[in-house]
Amino acid sequence: MTNLYKSVPVRSSEITPKQVYLSRRDFMKAATVAASAALLAACAPSVTEMPQNAAPAPTSTATDELGNPVNTYEDITNYNNYYEFTTDKQGVAGLAKDFKTIPWTIEVGRLVNKPKTFGIDDLLKTFTQEERIYRLRCVEAWSMVIPWEGFTLANLLNMVEPTSEAKYVRFETVYRPDEMPGQKSPFYSWPYQEGLRLDEAMNDLTFLATGLYGEPNVPQNGTPIRLVVPWKYGFKSIKSIVKIELVAELPATLWNAIAPNEYGFYSNVNPDVDHPRWSQASERRIGELSRVPTLPFNGYGEQVASLYDGMDLNVNY
Ligand SMILES: Nc1nc2c(c(=O)[nH]1)N[C@H]1C(S)=C(S)[C@@H](COP(=O)(O)O)O[C@H]1N2
Ligand SMILES: [Mo]
């Protein structure tokens, strides 16, 4: 496997000061506070630098490590794939707006020494939340650059101590058909499930996101907790996780079960292997006019190509 594309994940905080991530909600809250003279002194300096009367529209000058600017908060939170709500990308935000993400628990178990059910607040307290700017490449050939917040999956897995029999990790999304209208559709086998090989799951790039742009409550993007595997097609990055299981056998996944010839278990981003119905050689970056070439492993080859040494990725797609 050749490593043509250099990339090193850079913490967004190293590039851009935190205030550019002021969320819409925090900004509005802060702006309200700023309007009150009595509390002005307690206000963060970053807020006073921002226009107090403009409509809050958080944008950022941050870029990923290849120099691609991050997408706007507006784009990231209004163009989503989340079939539990709807297959209409622009309809997810409205339908998910009141989805309850608190309280929330995640059960981590099976082939581990210390199975445990975590509350989302435990996870936020136990693991330092860091920022990661990652490209997200959907299998449908559109992409975005997203400033996530969260922590590496390996931190959580190490805490429960996988046994030597554990070879794969299986993830499951919440099942609440009364609140998620798409889960009434008989075409998909709910709940959404995904999987990784244990070494993929342990890679430092593999991330559990708890928010984006400094905003923890973005149900349309899969909060309170969703997986982000930036070198794989977006559907591997399962949202709203309630269960993580360490298992010995390769787990079934929702998309692979529907169309195994279109959606392989690995699904590493690969411009050389076309989807049976369209080319994967380039992608439409949301917010930009022209298409950009798709990079092997979505540009993360340096960190992950060795995971697949000796494997034919045209066969193990
Ligand atoms: N539970 C669940 N997770 C999911 C999906 C979904 O429909 N349900 N869609 C996937 C797909 S196809 C993509 S491209 C990404 C989109 O993430 P975003 O909406 O945060 O950009 O989420 C992935 N995770
Ligand atoms: Mo996707």
**315: pLDDT confidence band, cut at 50, 70 and 90?**
confident
- Give the pTM: 0.85
Pairing of strands 207-212, 142-152: antiparallel
pLDDT digits (tens, 9 = 90+) for 64-77: 999 999 999 999 99
For the cut 90, the answer to whether the pLDDT of residue 208 exceeds it is yes
> CA–CA separation, 104 vs 51, rounded Å?
36
Say which residues have a Cβ less than 8 Å from residue 213's Cβ, sequence separation at least 6.
Answer: 21, 23, 58, 60, 73, 76, 147
Q: To which residue do tokens 């070879």 refer?
A: 167
pLDDT band at 227 (very low <50, low <70, confident <90, very high): very high
Q: How confident is the model at residue 60 (pLDDT cuts 50, 70, 90)?
A: confident
pLDDT of residue 6: 31
DSSP 86: B
User: In the structure, which protein residues have their CB atom closer than 6 angstroms to any atom of ligand 1?
Assistant: 80-84, 136, 138, 173, 192, 221-222, 234-235, 237-240
How is residue 158 written in tokens?
Answer: 């190490």
Domains and CATH numbers, the chain: 3-308 (3.90.420.10)
Cα separation, 47 vs 54, whole angstroms: 12
Length of the chain: 317
* Candidate of 142, 236, 239 to mutate for ligand 1, largest count of ligand atoms within 8 Å of Cβ: 239
Residue in 75, 80, 81 to alter for ligand 1 test, most ligand atoms within 8 A of Cβ: 81
Segment 178-196 mean pLDDT:
97
The arithmetic mean of pLDDT across residues 217-227, rounded, is 98
Q: Which has the higher per-residue pLDDT, 13 or 192?
A: 192
Q: Quick one: pLDDT band at residue 57, thresholds 50, 70, 90?
A: low
- Quick one: average pLDDT of 231-249? 98
Hey, which of 137, 237, 258, 286 would you mutate to test ligand 1's pocket, going by the most ligand atoms within 8 Å of its Cβ?
237
Q: What is the pLDDT of residue 314?
A: 87
Tell whether the model's pLDDT for residue 274 goes beyond 80: yes
Collapsing DSSP states into helix, strand and coil, what is residue 23?
coil
Residue of the CA atom closest to atom 15 of ligand 1 = 234
Q: Of 7, 13, 300, nearest to 131 (Cα)? A: 13
Could you tell me which of 171, 142, 143 has the C-alpha nearest to residue 156?
A: 171
**CA dist., res. 254 & res. 269, Å (int):** 18
- pLDDT for 148 beyond 70: yes
**How many whole angstroms from 20 Cα to the centroid of ligand 1?**
25
> Mean pLDDT in the chain?
86
CA nearest ligand 1 atom 21, residue: 80
- Rounded to the nearest angstrom, the distance between the alpha carbon of 163 and the centre of ligand 2 is 32
- Residues facing 145 on adjacent strands: 135
- How big is the CA angle at 105 (ends 99 and 108), to the nearest 5 degrees? 135
The reported pLDDT for the residue numbered 316 is 85
Q: Give the tens place of pLDDT for each residue, 11-27.
A: 344 333 334 454 443 44
**What spacing in Å lies between the alpha carbon of 66 and ligand 2's midpoint?**
22
